[in-house]
Amino acid sequence: MAVIIDGDQLTDSEMQKIANWTHLSETTFICSPTNPEADYRLRIFTPHEELPFAGHPTVGSARVALNNGIKPAHEGYLVQDCGKGLVKIYIDGDQLSFALPTPKITSVTDELNEQVAKALGLSNTSKVTLTEMVDVGAIWLTMGLKSAQDVLSLDPQDEQLVKLLPTGTTGVTVFAPQESADSDFEVRSFAPVEGVHEDPVCGSGNGAVAALIKSHHLLNKQKYIAHQGQKMGRNGIINVNLNGNNPILVGGQAVECITGQLRHS
């Protein structure tokens, strides 16, 4: 992802053109807050459109904000102003964790479940354990599979998914238990509707997964680790705290890899 500082200087159209030019899963713009409770306002764009919220951009942009002199008004956490409202981002050393916006979970028809499974490369739904639509600001058709190998073996057909997904859906996030000493779940996120074949690490997708794990009591502990990005040569590590009756916390570490200046005309 890319983070642009001084977003106040850009129009909506210019932001979208820059996001299309970078052609990353998300490009964000740090702006002055419109809410006095917030430390900054964040605009989040895919190559195709603006999103009200996204997880990975929230964590990455918070790291850039801290690295570039934004001081939290509250001890221990930042407050981000975005299309989904105010989002708290807790600071624990190098770890940043956002409070997931309240999830809205709706059912998926058997027909859509079967069609999406086939578009992902599954011959049938025998390996599917759970499918629901989860809205956390970004809307993910979220599908559970029986094993991590099932997740890693997927070969999604972008054109089919674009035709199948209901209007407004960000994409498909798939997860399964991971029998590993350092990970509890394997996750993959596909968003061809947004011009993104696969997201190497997806905070909102993992938030959708966490919402299902919590609502369906799929885990007997409050904290877990998910891995994502293996098929893309990445090693994304996502820390999740189901957090009892409080908002789910999703977090990890973000590192600035490239810095520079962007000129636009």
Q: How confident is the model at residue 265 (pLDDT cuts 50, 70, 90)?
A: low
Is 59 a domain residue?
yes
Is 45 a domain residue?
yes
Q: Quick: pLDDT tens for 96-129.
A: 999 999 999 999 999 999 999 999 999 999 999 9
- For the chain, what is the radius of gyration of the CA atoms? 18
Specify the CATH number for the domain of residue 65: 3.10.310.10
> Which structural domain range is residue 30 located in?
2-98
Same domain, 12 and 59: yes
Contacts of 213 by beta carbon, 8 Å cutoff, 6+ apart: 185, 219, 224, 242
Q: How far apart are CA 154 and CA 166, in angstroms?
A: 21
Tell me which residues are annotated as active site. Answer: 26
Same domain, 70 and 177: no
Q: Quick: pLDDT tens for 216-248.
A: 999 999 999 999 999 999 889 999 999 999 999
Same domain, 131 and 230: yes
Is 197 a domain residue?
yes
- Please choose, from the candidates 167, 156, 166, 230, the residue with its C-alpha nearest in 3D space to the C-alpha of residue 196: 156
Q: How confident is the model at residue 255 (pLDDT cuts 50, 70, 90)?
A: confident
Q: Quick: pLDDT tens for 159-180.
A: 999 999 999 999 999 999 997 8
Same domain, 10 and 130: no
Same domain, 120 and 231: yes
In the listed set 98, 116, 148, which residue is the last one of a domain according to the structure?
98
